Chains A and B, each alone.
Chain A
Amino acid sequence: MSAVRSETGYNFAYLDEGTKRMIRRAILKAIAIPGYQVPFASREMPMPYGWGTGGVQVTAAILGKRDVLKVIDQGSDDTTNAVSIRAFFARTADVAVTTRTREATVIQTRHRIPEAPLHEGQVLVYQVPIPEPLRFLEPRETETRQLHALAEYGLMHVKLYEDIARHGHIATTYAYPVEVAGRYVMDPSPTPKFDNPKMDDCPALQLFGAGREKRIYAVPPHTRVRSLDFEDHPFRVQSFDKPCALCGAEGVYLDEVLLDDAGGRMFVCSDTDHCEERRADGPIGTGGAGEGAAHA
């Protein structure tokens, strides 16, 4: 990684120690009650809401000197959000940073789970815009809190059923609701539903931070995460017709890249690290020839 200037005058990882303690206490509760949204006193961060202030606060609270940090934005290590958050912690905490999934101890993510399997000892920190899975079905926080307390998730099933009634299948493709450890229904953040199966029995600890909405929640390692579905309409992930045009990977999540004004396009790995690692190892895809559409 390029050398970055260390900031002086800030506490380690930007946040003051009192704020870190408050966030740490919230994280411990979140781990003890998997899938439950713990309210926390979210702070103003030096970036706008919607840019990952929740994830940044969780990362700042857990980060130590010896951690190796990776930040991804839609699977990519080199988009604005990922680059600036990585530089933020390289400057304020002077931690080692990487793009390699395997080398990272803390991975902050906006809406993807890396393709490379995670391992014990890693922490995946999600940036979450709307933590409440029932919010668009019931706008009142007092009510959704009650629904969670009673484990009353009929609303969510009605929503999924209405998808089937209207489209013939469950048309929800991202932020697909999951049930954690058989109790709380949770928003996995707007990850593609393609990534939902990776949350189940994941060896890494998964922490979720929503800065504007002031909520932290967690999925401990090796915890059952079940995507909601129906017996006659079981949960299915997207599939792609063609492999990645750059590395030829199959069974990975692909991004559509427009190539020209004539409708030319190709599908490439959303996980840039995975794609680069495969290309370094040899396999080369078809280039721009792919015309593979995604199926929900």
Chain B
Amino acid sequence: MLAHGFADPVHDAQGVFRAVMDALARPGTIQPLAPGLAPPAPLTPELAAIALALADADAPLWLDAGLARNPAVADFLRFHTGARITGDPAEAAFALVSDPAACPDLGTFAKGTPAYPDRSATLVLAVSILSDREGWHLAGPGIRGSARLAAAPLPADILSRLARNHAGFPQGIDLILAAPGRVAALPRSTRVQEG
């Protein structure tokens, strides 16, 4: 049987959106996220909530290898969002990554064009650890002075990937880091340095 979607589609979607909006507007802060979903594994409730809140027929989804392996994940997302599931990362508006340590290179996703940098992908990574007390030093718009953020698991060379992404500003990818019950974000405008 298909897992249920939001119990209250209007207000649950609004709550998830506001958490993501606040996370993107204030990089380095961790926003609470209570998805109330039980999607098919390995799709986490947080990834599912963000997809249900933001994806639809105009915003195709890309699934990483782990998510693509279980057809129930695509069925769940297709039914609840109406979004097209694409196999081509360059087409995706949102990329759902259940295994962030094996996240493909950011260059495989759309980063927008110089005239339209908004035509870019947002990566949603299912991390298991998220902390704002240790880890990287963040600076940039949305951050008062500097902020800290630690997230794991992530690829070993994540910092150089993020540096390349930031160097391409205003083009680039935005990252949403979703841990159980919590969400943080690293927009392309954020400079990330080693902690």
B56: Cβ under 8 A from any A Cβ: yes
How many residues of chain B get a CB closer than 8 Å to chain A's CBs?
41
Is A62 engaged at the interface, CB distance under 8 Å to the other chain?
yes
B104 contacts A by Cβ under 8 Å: no
Say yes or no: B188 contacts A31, CB within 8 Å: no
Give the contacting residue for B189; candidates A11, A34, A65, A146; CB below 8 A.
A34
* B54 and A149 contacting across the interface, CB-CB below 8 Å: no
Report chain A residues within 8 Å CB of B172.
Answer: 32
- Give how many A-B residue pairs fall within 8 Å (CB-CB): 113
Query: Is B24 touching A17 in the complex (CB atoms < 8 A)?
Result: no
Are the CB atoms of B115 and A146 closer together than 8 Å? Answer: yes
Chain B residues within 8 Å of A33, by CB: 117-118, 169-170, 187-189
Give chain A nearest CB distance to B44 CB in angstroms.
20
Size of the A side of the interface (Cβ < 8 Å), in residues, is 45
With a cutoff of 8 Å between Cβ atoms, the chain B residues found around residue A222 in the complex are 141-144
Contact of A181 with B140 in the complex, beta carbons under 8 Å? yes
Inter-chain CA distance A63–B14, complex, in Å, is: 8
Residues of B within 8 A of A39 (CB): 116, 118
The answer on a CB contact under 8 Å between A17 and B9 is yes
Q: Pick the residue among A22, A65, A145, A150 that contacts B58 (CB under 8 A).
A: A22
30 residue pairs bridging A and B, Cβ less than 8 Å apart: A11-B10, A17-B10, A17-B13, A21-B53, A21-B54, A24-B21, A24-B54, A28-B122, A29-B174, A32-B24, A32-B187, A33-B118, A33-B170, A33-B187, A33-B188, A36-B117, A36-B170, A62-B18, A62-B21, A64-B18, A65-B11, A149-B114, A149-B115, A201-B144, A220-B142, A221-B25, A221-B144, A223-B141, A223-B142, A224-B141
Q: Which 3 A-B pairs have the closest CB atoms?
A: A220-B142, A32-B187, A149-B114
